[in-house]
Structure formats: C-alpha cells, structure tokens
Structure 1
C-alpha cells in the first residue's frame, strides 16, 4: 500500500501559502509570498535542503490540488532538467513520476504524466493508496488535504515550522478540518531556527 504524506512549510500561526517565492500565490490579496527566503539564506539552511532531498527521494507520485498543480507545472514542470542542485534533481524526478490532480475546472493537463482524479476524489485516492508503491506526496493543496483528512486518508504529516507569524493567509488546518489525533514521531531543530516535526495519525 502507498502512504499519503503531507509535507508543508508552515508558520507558527499555521499559514502555508506561498512560502516559496515572490508572487507564487497572491490569492486573497496575500502579500507575504516568499516568506521562507530569509531563513533559507541563513547559516545552516543546507540542513533543510538535505532533509527535503531525502524526503523527495521517497516520492513515487504527487497528489495536488489545482492551484498547487499549476504552481508546480510552471516551475518544476518548466525548468531545465540539467539545472544544478535540487532544481534539476527535483525537476527530473517530478517529470517522471505520476501527478494526480484534484480539480473541478480543469479538463486537460499539460505537464507530462499528469492525471485528473475525477469527480469522486476520495474514492480515487483510496484506490491509489491501496496499490503497491512508495510515498504519495502532497504539497500545499489545503482544500485537498482537508478532503483527505475527512476520509482518514493521510498517513503522515511532515512540517517544517518557521518561527514567523504572518497574521493572514491560507492555513493547513483551517476551520472545519477533521478532528485528528496525531502522534509525534520525529522532531529536529535546525540551525536556521526552523523546527521539523513529523506526525502520524493515531488510528483506533
């Protein structure tokens, strides 16, 4: 069985919107795009890069909401596979693995190896999760994560928590999120001040 793993860069107030770069996702008038940059430029930030590199080495598929898919498609789906460092490394990997997309509006997907989940997202993801394989990776995609949690389909959360309060933006655990008990399985504090927490749901 595959494991569905949610990974996120997250602030102390739970915001996950547009941490990666300027104008990544201005939806809702969000003005803090690229909020991870200051911390990622600090001494010791290479620790975080190596952690993500190790995480992504286990990814056998991406599971994304429409908005995150479009962000990924115009970055990882467009960059050169010959680029140096993790840009080229992740571009090569993401191009090759299947991408499953939850969307009510898209009818065609331009990034190779991409597939629409269809109208019953929970049922389709349940079938994908039941197939043999490695980790099915979820980045961003807050509405999709909420749906997956409501159907108890998430196997692990890996959160890189930045010591930062933004005050607004899309939150990973928004109002109406499914009641969930989690067990911490790993915690690491990086020299940059970022704390990496891994949790698994407690299932009875």
Structure 2
C-alpha cells in the first residue's frame, strides 16, 4: 500500500488559502500570493525534497485547472515530474482533462483515494484546500508536510476548519527553519485519538526546583 502525502503551505494562523498568486482564488480573498515574498532557497530545496518518490498527483478541481494551464509548458524539475506522472482530479463537475495523464475520480471520494493508494508508492496532494480538509476528516492521509510561514492574515480558509476530527500525528524529522522564518514540519499520521492528562501530576516535573 502506498502513501497519501499532503504538502501544505500555511500562515501562522493556519490560513492555507491561495498562497501562490493573487488570481489563485477568485472568492474575494485579499491576500492571494502571500507566500511569494517568504520563499527562499532553503524552503525551495525543502519543497523539492518533499516530492522525492512521488509517482502520482491528487488535486482538487481548482488546483488542477491552475496546474494544467501552466506546467505543460515548463521544463524544470517540477514541470518534468508533473508532466510525466498520473494526475487524479477530485471534482463533482466536468473538468477539461486534456493534460496528458489526467483522470477524474468517481463520486465515492474515500473509495477512490483508497484505490489509487493501492496503485502507487506515493500520491502527493498539492494545494487543493477543500480536498485536503476531506482527507484530514476521513483520516485518508499518511504524511503531512506543513510549511508554517511567518505571517498572520486573520482571514481566509484554514487548513483545519470546523469539523476536523481528533487525530494523532507524530513528528518524523526535526523541524527545519529557513532564513526568512518559514518552518518545515513533517508529520506522519499515528493510530488512535488524542488522550488527555493532568499537568499537575508529580511526574511532569513542573515546579520541581530540586
């Protein structure tokens, strides 16, 4: 069984909407492109490394349309990767699938995601915030690469909206910070649900001056 790998960009207040450009999301969001001033070489290298092993993309309709209008003309690392591997599109509509290797998923999204997980080693989800929220809610992910950027917007769609289900994750690697202050966190989904405890318990060591 392969991995469902979510690669997500977020602000400190966990807004994930339209990081790439002002026209990425036409819903009146005033900060489209908030990520661009915060990208540096270190973050770029982290993003490229996160795609190692990717042999399929899973995209929401809006992200797919943006990618399909841009990447077929590109011949850099991501252009060559994205043009070569299969692209699966989660959409209730009828997207234009003329980008080579594109396929629309059926109406049973959880079932379709489980099926493509069986076909591939690593299916990477890019952008596609509504799709990401569905995958998080259904616990249909194995790894989450989250880049936290040093900016607070106060408005916009959140990575974890109301309705997120309690989920355990484990940190897979030490966090990495870029010169501009973006922090890369790599998590793996863990079994079970969050547990609670008592911080005043003696074994916590709080207030112990001995």
1:25 and 2:25 are equivalent in the alignment = yes
Alignment of structure 1 residues 52-201 onto 2, 5 Å: 52-77=47-72, 79-81=73-75, 88-106=76-94, 108-131=96-119, 133-186=120-173, 187-201=175-189
- 1:39 to 2:38 alignment: yes
Q: CA deviation at 1:178?
A: 2.1
Listed as ranges, the gaps of 5+ residues in structure 2 are: 193-210
Q: State the alpha-carbon separation in 2 of the partners of residues 195 and 107 from structure 1.
A: 34
Task: Describe the shift of the 1:37–1:108 C-alpha distance in structure 2 as closer, same or farther (beyond 3 A).
Answer: closer
Q: CA–CA distance in 2 between the matches of 1:102 and 1:118?
A: 8
Gaps of 5+ in 1: 82-87
Distance 1:163 1:47 in 2: 15
Question: C-alpha distance in 2, partners of 1:159/1:21?
Answer: 19
Mark the structure with the bigger radius of gyration.
2
Instruction: Give the TM-score of the pair, scaled to structure 1.
Output: 0.88
TM-score, normalized by length of structure 2?
A: 0.85
Equivalent pairs counted in the alignment come to 191
